[in-house]
Structure 1
Amino acid sequence: MGKIVISENVSLDGVTQDPTGEEGFRLGGWLSRVGDRDREEWAKVECAEALGSEAMLLGRRSYEFFSARWPSRSGAWADRLNSMPKYVVSSTIEDATWNNSTVLQGDVVKEVSALKQRASGDIVVYASGRLVHTLLEHRLVDELRLMIYPVVLGAGRRLFGETGDNEPMRLVDSRTVGDSLVLVTYQPLRDA
């Protein structure tokens, strides 16, 4: 069975909105507020994650963002993202054009559950805020990998909004990335 892995860049106060500053959010662009070493080490972590994943799962907006940027890039990270199987959850996209992409339509919980059954490795979810909330609410997430940036925004869409129930987590790894980023990995404690 596959494992759903949420991989998110988050501010210290849990904001995930507009990290690159391209969405027009007044506090966006916070990814670039770290030094060169941080960005270089972040890129190594992200590349290793992609190389170790079986597939990518994205919501429509994140799919459109990624598919507009990655096909023209080269290198190990780009080659992996461009070649790996990609699944996009959307009710409006009928034909996904990014190489090796499949549209999952209909009931999100049913479709993602079936995908987990078919897969054998990590299915990584990048960005995709609405999809992440749905996956968390329906307890389909097997692991959270959070790259924490040293900035407090005070406003914006957060990784964890209102949830239907509490979900205890277990810390399975933490480490410093570069000079000021922290990567933490949690797994849900389903039997707690």
Structure 2
Amino acid sequence: MGKIVISENVSLDGVVQDPVGTEGFRFAGWFDRLAGEDREAWAAVEYEEALGTEALLLGRRTYEWFLAQGWATRDGAWADRLRAVPKHVVSSTPGDLEWNSTVLKGDLVDAVSRLKQEVAGDVVLYGSGRVAHALIEHDLVDELRLMVCPFALGEGERLFGRTGAVKPLRLVGNRTVGTGIVRLTYRPVRHV
């Protein structure tokens, strides 16, 4: 059975909106402020995560961003790994997908529940804020890996939007990445 993992870059105040500057958000591109040692350390941790990933789960816009940023044609071990990993795309827009990808069909909750049964290992969700909210709301997330960047934005869409109930989490790991990033790993506490 698979494990659904949400892996996100978040600002210190929890914002996930437009980290690379493609959506027109007032603080668009905030993630690009990382440079030097922090950026290199971040990339090393992300590559390590990719090596342990059995499948990617992506919303349509995040999938298109991955393609637009050249991951499908980029050189190097990290890009090779991302190309090799099967990608499952949440989309209501019919169309052809590239890059070892399929569209999840039907109801999101049912489709992700089936995917969880079919994949043995980590199914990692990158970006895809609306999908992340839905998975959190329906208690389908097994682990959250948050790369907390040293920026407070004060506004913007956050990873945790409105929920129908309290979502208790337990910290199971923390790690300093570079000189300014902290990676926090949480797991839901299921029967509180």
Which of the five TM-score ranges fits, normalised by the shorter chain? over 0.9
Per-residue deviation, residues 70-100 of structure 1 (Å, max 9, x unmatched): 1110111100111110000111033212x21
Aligned to 1:169: 169
RMSD: 0.9
Contact 1:171 1:186 in 2 (8 A): yes
- The range that moved more, 5-14 or 26-35, is 26-35
Per-residue deviation, residues 126-156 of structure 1 (Å, max 9, x unmatched): 0000000000010000000000011110111
Following the alignment from structure 1 to structure 2, what is the Cα–Cα distance between the partners of residues 43 and 35? 11
What TM-score comes out, normalization by structure 2 length?
Answer: 0.97
Aligned to 2:21: 21
Following the alignment from structure 2 to structure 1, what is the Cα–Cα distance between the partners of residues 20 and 13? 17
Unaligned 5+ segments in structure 2 are: none
Aligned to 1:34: 34
Aligned to 1:62: 62
Secondary structure at the aligned position of 1:7 is classed as strand
Aligned to 2:95: 94
Counterpart AA for 1:123: V
- The range that moved more, 27-36 or 78-87, is 27-36
Aligned to 2:114: 114
Per-residue deviation, residues 48-91 of structure 1 (Å, max 9, x unmatched): 10111000000111011112221110111100111110000111
Following the alignment from structure 1 to structure 2, what is the Cα–Cα distance between the partners of residues 75 and 47? 11
Following the alignment from structure 2 to structure 1, what is the Cα–Cα distance between the partners of residues 92 and 34? 36
- Runs of 4+ residues over 6 Å off in structure 1: none
Secondary structure at the aligned position of 2:97 is classed as coil
Following the alignment from structure 2 to structure 1, what is the Cα–Cα distance between the partners of residues 183 and 142? 17
Aligned to 1:79: 80
Aligned to 1:9: 9
Aligned to 1:189: 189
Secondary structure at the aligned position of 1:113 is classed as helix
Counterpart AA for 2:57: L
Q: Tell me how far 1:176 sits from its aligned partner.
A: 0.5
What TM-score comes out, normalization by structure 1 length?
Answer: 0.97
Residue 180 (structure 1) aligned with residue 180 (structure 2) = yes
Per-residue deviation, residues 144-190 of structure 1 (Å, max 9, x unmatched): 00000111101111101101111110000001000000000000000
Counterpart AA for 2:74: R
Secondary structure at the aligned position of 2:140 is classed as coil
Q: Tell me how far 1:30 sits from its aligned partner.
A: 1.1
Counterpart AA for 2:58: L
- Percent of aligned positions with the same letter in both sequences? 63
